[in-house]
Amino acid sequence: FAYTSQLNNTRGTSEDDGDFTSLLRIHAKSQFHNFRLDYSTPFGFSAGAEYTYYNSPDEQWLKSSLYDEIYDITSQQRIDKWHAYLKQEHDFGKDWGLNYGINYTTSRDKSSQENNNKSSDGNTIQNEDQMSFYVGASKSFGQKLTMEASLMEEYYHTPIWNEWNLFPTLSITYLPKAGHVIQFDLDCDRDYPTYWSVKNFTTYNVGGYGKIVGNPTLKPSRDLSLSLTYILHSRYVASLFFNNSKDEFRQLPYQSDEKKEMEYKHVNFDHVNQVGLMLTAPINIGNWWQNRLTFTGVYQNDKNSHFYDLPFDRSKWFCQAQWNGTFLFGKHVLLNLDASVHTNAIQGIIDIPASGYLNAALTWKPLKDDKFQLKAYCNDIFETGDNHLHDTYRGQHVI
């Protein structure tokens, strides 16, 4: 049995004084409780149940020169979520394994929003159900070849969506000789939007210029990933990969021609495709300097044929390099440096500029058993890690 709880209480005030003046006050509270019970037997059968409770009332008060009146918005969200599962595993000997099971999740989301200007009042109750059945098998062919495969059938139901989907997975590992590994992986999955993002409610930021709008028609994405990996001497890694996300959902800004406002909304893309190469190599110099270098190169294509009056089909090559280095000064002091840099990238109509960071941590361990440690660290030493997003696509102007 396990129980987890988290309570938050946040207050904030922001003022803007430029092309317009505004005062924004926010008070948000939330409580999260999770109860989980699991049971397993010696013969491979296990079962479990889980209940999650989430409640988040918040208030937002906005006075801005962009509007003729004061916005006083009260929002409330309560989520009750139940999950149960049954699964069975068999070991038939001769390196054969079989597993199968069922998962069921149901949730009830009761949300409301009251606005003093009556433009976006609403109360919603949404029930959501998800059920999946799966069967999987594993087999080893001698000591060089192993294979795992599974197939899951999922049913997903909301007031808008009612779908059946099939998700296969496959993993094949081959060891041609000692220290060499070739691995192929196929994985299919689904990603779900947050409960609040599908509500037809509105909140504000940037002094009222920014308007965060819900999208009731937002649907889950279907994700496919393929990878072929080669490991040399159990140290050096090269991996080719392909990722396809159908109905990928991202939050994008849209600048209205009719009003002085920026609307932010989660929308479904037609797809987001990525193909790339990742290389990883550890490089050690003596016993005092340990390094790990990683390079990733990616070609990405984002397509959305129904984004307001700005449909897009954009592609971009980008790369990222990462370095982690550890310097040992005697037996008790070590310095860890973590650095990363990436070139220009895209996210829908947004341009992500090149950026990078350098983190450092100095650790002192005076005792042999490491029971006492003293650490000093600094993240983003040169303050270059923040991305200042740009959007100048077809007349949009977000900098």
pLDDT in tens, 214-271: 999 999 999 999 999 999 998 999 999 999 999 999 999 998 777 777 889 999 999 9
Query: What percentage of the chain reaches a pLDDT higher than 90?
Result: 64
The structure tokens listed for 243 are 């990722």
What does the pLDDT average to over 293-313? 95
Q: CA–CA separation, 173 vs 144, rounded Å?
A: 8
Regarding beta strands 271-285 and 333-342, do their DSSP bridges make them parallel or antiparallel, or are they unpaired?
unpaired
pLDDT at 287: 85
Give the mean model confidence (pLDDT) for residues 280-301: 94
Task: Give the per-residue pLDDT at 370.
Answer: 77
CA atoms of 107 and 129, how far apart (whole Å): 7
8 A C-beta contact, residue 115 and residue 72: yes
* Three-class secondary structure of residue 380 per DSSP: coil
Distance CA 398, CA 393 (A): 9
- Determine the average pLDDT of the residues in 312-333: 94
- Give the pLDDT of residue 244: 98
Judge contact between 184 and 170, C-beta under 8 A: yes
User: Three-class SS of residue 151?
Assistant: strand
pLDDT 10s digits, 116-171: 765 555 788 899 999 999 999 999 998 899 999 999 999 999 988 899 999 999 99
Quick check: 247 and 298 in contact, CB under 8 A? no
d(CA 393, CA 254): 10
The CATH number of 2-395 is 2.40.170.20
List all residues 6 or more positions away from 116 whose beta carbon is below 8 Å from its beta carbon: 69, 70, 71, 72, 73
In 3D space, the residue among 108, 112, 47 whose CA is nearest the CA of residue 81 turns out to be: 108
Distance CA 160, CA 124 (A): 13
